[in-house]
Chain A
Amino acid sequence: MLELRNICKTFNAGTPDEKKALSDLSLTIPAGDFVSIIGANGAGKSTLFNAICGSFPLDSGSVWLDGRNVTMMPEHRRAKQIGRLFQDPMRGSAPDMSIEENLALAAGKGGWLSRVSAADRKSFRERLSLLGMGLEDRMRQPVGLLSGGQRQALTLLMATFQAPDVLLLDEHTAALDPGTAEKVLELTRKIVSEHHITCLMITHNMQSALDLGNRTLMMDRGRVIYDVTGEERSRLTIEDLTERFRQLSGKALDNDRMLLGINRKK
């Protein structure tokens, strides 16, 4: 379970560029929930993820993971419980190292002086074959040679190798071509449901926001302005969602990508 209590974050406080990125935001995500998050650019979606990961200190408020207060825990220690994927497929893996070596670091097993064993290699092979991309036969190749889609799939595998308590997906398919994006999304769905991982997914695609998961959040100006689940959500259409956004935020959706998502539906 993930709980955020009244978290606030202001960037460039006291300057003309002051930006309230998170404004007294509270949120409780029960274990096993799959939440999609939408909102215009600058609504604070990625900042919310940064706050959960501990990429910067919060101005106030606290972050709780499985009943533990992790607000002051440094980013790398929190990472044991949190997996994260970015829009940029290059961010999740080390290009100069082989697939096997990347997985060995992500698997996080053994002492500092341990080496990749035959048993490790076997389990890497099995997990890689689940991706259906033939990566299991390229384990000694440097990751830099992989395509964006392959790299993102590998990152997904790395982030979930030891099932994390929370998986954060920050538009992780936005930089991929439509076919590959679909495939990575399908893998995500499979892995998340198999390991019952609590998952938060930022997306600009309204359709996947409604199709995936069991709950949808809409963000604006550092707040959650709409939180929908259950039957109400299952009846929602993209048009409802845009209309709801206009009502709640007092402005029209100004994001090209979100509008493209709408056009595709029509």
Chain B
Amino acid sequence: MDKFLALSQTAMELGLVNSLTVLSLFLSYSMLNVCDLSTDGCFTLGAAVGALTAIAGSAWLSLPAAMLAGAVSGLITATLQTRMGVQSLLAGIVVNTGLYSVNMALTGNKATLSMNKVTTVFSMAKDLLRGTPLAGQSTLLVMLAAVALVVVFLCWFLKTRLGLAIRATGSNADMVRSSSINPTFTTTVGLCISNSFTALSGCLMAQQQKNFEINMGSGMVTVALASLLIGGVFFAKHRPIPLRAVGAVLGAFLFRLVYGLALRLDMPAFMLKLVSSVIVVIAISGPYLRRQMPQIIRRWQMIREGRGPRA
């Protein structure tokens, strides 16, 4: 039982960090209908900027600094796809590739940065809570606060006129235009906000692990997408937005929990990315194949009865 509790605490902590990226995709993928493939690089960018700011001496400033860097990255991705004729997927890939060099340049050509003796938001929270009953939970509390803030912000924002316009852009861009709103503008704002969450996620991850590593974001987009799609199982498309946002967080937690259990069952850690890929494929192509099933069954029957194309 203790083992399970320890496992779920780790899953909770990691799930919460990841859930910020999941919420970012909730905005870009579920709402704006843009698959933002710059997520990996942006996650690392947030981690790098956050780590450098913390090492420079300001743990608090690291959060807004990372978010600002993420927003700038989102602005570039959005500009490429809305004003410069680059296809949406390619815009993300191009920015993602470019960000690797940017991240390396930021860290001064170092693939890792250690924050062992550096004050981070987590060490600050630990000092703050020392001696109180919550002392052991400081990491979890910081994560929980960050995720709660982002969820509350999203629930509020997506009901504002700008939020509605962003949702409509993903649902029917023609209608946005005929409402005298420029879809270029809504796409840009949406991607800036979503990327700032991705960067915040990376920033917190690096500070929690007290370590920045240049490849820490690799595969993040698939892991987050898998979590988002798992979350979609709890609260489907037609449910209210607050529930769906909470579903996204639950999805991230559940993904980490299952992954943690699989590790206990001797699955090697390097399997994480394959598992997330498979989950994404199942979640997206499952409903498609289910729709195709009657056709496939009919074809089998016809072949069996000797009336099929190959008979």
Task: Kindly name the residue among A79, A104, A105, A108 whose own CB sees the greatest number of chain B CB atoms within 10 A.
Answer: A105
Q: Which of chain A's residues have a CB closer than 8 A to the CB of B109?
A: none
* B237 in the interface (beta carbon within 8 A): yes
From A74, A80, A105, A110, contact of B175 by CB (8 A):
A105
Indicate if the CB atoms of A93 and B164 lie closer than 8 Å. no
Indicate if the CB atoms of A104 and B164 lie closer than 8 Å. yes
Roughly how many angstroms separate A104 CA and B168 CA in the complex, as a whole number?
11
Q: Which of chain A's residues have a CB closer than 8 A to the CB of B172?
A: 90-91, 93-95
Indicate if the CB atoms of B171 and A105 lie closer than 8 Å. no
Roughly how many angstroms separate A45 CA and B182 CA in the complex, as a whole number?
26
Indicate if the CB atoms of B177 and A75 lie closer than 8 Å. yes
Indicate if the CB atoms of A108 and B180 lie closer than 8 Å. yes
Q: Which of chain B's residues have a CB closer than 8 A to the CB of A13?
A: none
Indicate if the CB atoms of A94 and B178 lie closer than 8 Å. no
Distance in Å: Cβ of A86 to nearest Cβ of chain B: 8
Indicate if the CB atoms of A110 and B161 lie closer than 8 Å. yes
Roughly how many angstroms separate A113 CA and B170 CA in the complex, as a whole number?
19
* A220 in the interface (beta carbon within 8 A): no
Roughly how many angstroms separate A78 CA and B85 CA in the complex, as a whole number?
23
* A261 in the interface (beta carbon within 8 A): no
Distance in Å: Cβ of A65 to nearest Cβ of chain B: 14
Indicate if the CB atoms of B171 and A97 lie closer than 8 Å. yes
* A12 in the interface (beta carbon within 8 A): no
Roughly how many angstroms separate A83 CA and B175 CA in the complex, as a whole number?
11
* A67 in the interface (beta carbon within 8 A): no
Indicate if the CB atoms of B178 and A84 lie closer than 8 Å. yes
Indicate if the CB atoms of B161 and A111 lie closer than 8 Å. yes
CB-CB contacts of A88-117 with B at 8 A, as 1s and 0s? 001111111100011011101011111110
User: Are A79 and B162 CB-contacts (below 8 A) given A92-B175, A96-B167, A142-B238?
Assistant: no
Q: Which of chain A's residues have a CB closer than 8 A to the CB of B171?
A: 94-97
Indicate if the CB atoms of B238 and A114 lie closer than 8 Å. no
Roughly how many angstroms separate A228 CA and B80 CA in the complex, as a whole number?
49
* A246 in the interface (beta carbon within 8 A): no
Indicate if the CB atoms of A105 and B176 lie closer than 8 Å. yes
User: Are A96 and B237 CB-contacts (below 8 A) given A104-B164, A112-B160?
Assistant: yes
| Chain B residue nearest to A83 in the complex (CB) | B178
Distance in Å: Cβ of A80 to nearest Cβ of chain B: 5
Question: In chain B, residues 154-193, which have Cβ atoms closer than 8 Å to a Cβ of chain A?
Answer: 159-162, 164-165, 167-168, 170-172, 174-183
Indicate if the CB atoms of B175 and A94 lie closer than 8 Å. yes
* A76 in the interface (beta carbon within 8 A): yes
Roughly how many angstroms separate A91 CA and B174 CA in the complex, as a whole number?
7
CB-CB contacts of A109-138 with B at 8 A, as 1s and 0s? 011111110000000000000000000000
From A79, A112, A159, contact of B177 by CB (8 A):
A79
| Chain A residue nearest to B237 in the complex (CB) | A96
| Chain A residue nearest to B159 in the complex (CB) | A115
* A5 in the interface (beta carbon within 8 A): no
Indicate if the CB atoms of A112 and B161 lie closer than 8 Å. yes
Indicate if the CB atoms of B174 and A76 lie closer than 8 Å. no
Roughly how many angstroms separate A80 CA and B181 CA in the complex, as a whole number?
9
Indicate if the CB atoms of B181 and A76 lie closer than 8 Å. yes
From A80, A92, A104, A110, contact of B180 by CB (8 A):
A80
Q: Which of chain A's residues have a CB closer than 8 A to the CB of B160?
A: 112-115
From A74, A90, A114, A158, contact of B182 by CB (8 A):
A74
Distance in Å: Cβ of A95 to nearest Cβ of chain B: 6
* A77 in the interface (beta carbon within 8 A): yes
Indicate if the CB atoms of B168 and A94 lie closer than 8 Å. yes
Distance in Å: Cβ of A8 to nearest Cβ of chain B: 24
| Chain B residue nearest to A85 in the complex (CB) | B178
Indicate if the CB atoms of A97 and B180 lie closer than 8 Å. no
User: Are A114 and B161 CB-contacts (below 8 A) given A92-B175, A96-B171, A97-B167?
Assistant: yes
Indicate if the CB atoms of B177 and A104 lie closer than 8 Å. no
| Chain B residue nearest to A91 in the complex (CB) | B174
Q: Which of chain A's residues have a CB closer than 8 A to the CB of B181?
A: 76, 105
Distance in Å: Cβ of A156 to nearest Cβ of chain B: 12
Roughly how many angstroms separate A208 CA and B168 CA in the complex, as a whole number?
34
23 A-B Cβ contacts within 8 A?
A76-B178, A76-B181, A76-B182, A84-B178, A91-B174, A91-B175, A94-B168, A94-B171, A94-B175, A94-B176, A95-B172, A96-B170, A97-B164, A102-B175, A106-B179, A108-B179, A113-B162, A114-B160, A114-B161, A115-B159, A115-B160, A115-B161, A158-B179
Beyond known contacts A94-B176, A111-B161: 18 more, CB 8 A cutoff:
A76-B178, A76-B181, A77-B180, A79-B177, A79-B179, A90-B172, A94-B171, A95-B172, A96-B167, A97-B168, A102-B168, A104-B164, A105-B181, A112-B161, A113-B162, A115-B160, A116-B159, A142-B238
Binding site for B on A (CB under 8 A): 74-77, 79-80, 83-84, 90-97, 101-102, 104-106, 108, 110-116, 142, 158-159
The 7 A-B residue pairs whose C-beta atoms are closest, nearest first, are: A94-B171, A112-B162, A94-B168, A96-B171, A94-B172, A79-B180, A80-B180
